[in-house]
Amino acid sequence: MKPVGDSAEESGWRIQSIPSRDPYAMMETNWGAVLGALFFIGGIFAGLKVAALFLISIFGLVLALISILFRGRIVRRNWKKVLAQCTDKEWKKVLGTPGQGGGVRLTWTFQLLCEFELDGNRYTVTPEYWSTFISENRLQKFLDKVISPDGACQLWVNPKNPLQTELIANDIKDFLLH
C-alpha cells in the first residue's frame, strides 16, 4: 500500500491516490494478533529446550490467524456492496517483497479510478486491493475478470467513510472477510 501523502509524480503513478483516512490517525492494535505472535515466538524458543513446548507456537499461530480474521470481519461487517464505474486504470511493475532466497522481486500492481453513488451522493475513489501479480498477463486477466468491458465493477464501501473502498474480486479475501 502506498503512503497516503504521496503525489502522483513522487510515486510514479499517473492516477492520483485518493486518501480514505487521516494519515496521522493512530491505527487500532489487534491485541489478539500481538499475543498470538508472542506465543508463537516464545513457543519456538521454548520448543528448543523441551520439544513438547513447541505446541505453544502452534497455539500462538492459530490465535493470531483467528484474531486477524475476526478483526477483519468486525471492521467490514456493515460495509455495502455497490456497483461502480471504472473510469481509468493504470498498472506497472514495482518492487515486491523479498523472496525466500532473499533479494527483492518485481511484481505487477494496479491503480483504479472508480465512481459510484451511495445514499444520493456521488464519490470518486481509488479502491484498495490486497495482492500483486507475477506477470503483466496475469494482472490483465484479473482486471478483465473484475471489470466488465463497459467499465462496470463492484466495490465494498464503508458507509461511515465512503472513500474507504475495496475492489470485489470474489476471491478468498471476499469470502473470509465479508
CB neighbour class for 146 (10 Å; exposed up to 12, middle 13-18, buried from 19): middle
Cα angle 18, 71, 55 (rounded to 5 degrees) comes to 135
Mean pLDDT of the chain: 86
d(C-alpha 2, C-alpha 12), whole Å:
11
Which pLDDT does position 6 carry in this prediction? 45
Distance CA 15, CA 20 (A): 15
Confidence of residue 11 (pLDDT cuts 50, 70, 90): low
Selected residue with higher pLDDT from 120 and 174 = 120
Is pLDDT above 70 for 59?
Answer: yes
The predicted-structure confidence for 95-113, as pLDDT tens digits, reads as follows 877 666 666 778 999 999 9
Take residue 83 and report the three cell numbers written for it.
Answer: 456497483
Q: What is the pLDDT of residue 7?
A: 44
Higher pLDDT, 25 or 41: 41
pLDDT confidence band for 152 (50 / 70 / 90): very high
156 in Cβ contact with 163 (< 8 Å): no
By CB neighbour count within 10 A (0-12 exposed, 13-18 middle, 19+ buried), where does 24 fall? Answer: exposed
Residue 23 reports pLDDT greater than 60:
yes
80 and 156 in contact (C-beta within 8 Å)? yes
pLDDT attached to residue 60: 92
Average pLDDT in the 156-167 region? Answer: 94
Q: CA-to-CA distance for 112 and 94, rounded, in angstroms?
A: 16
How many other C-beta atoms can be found within 10 angstroms of the C-beta atom of residue 51?
9
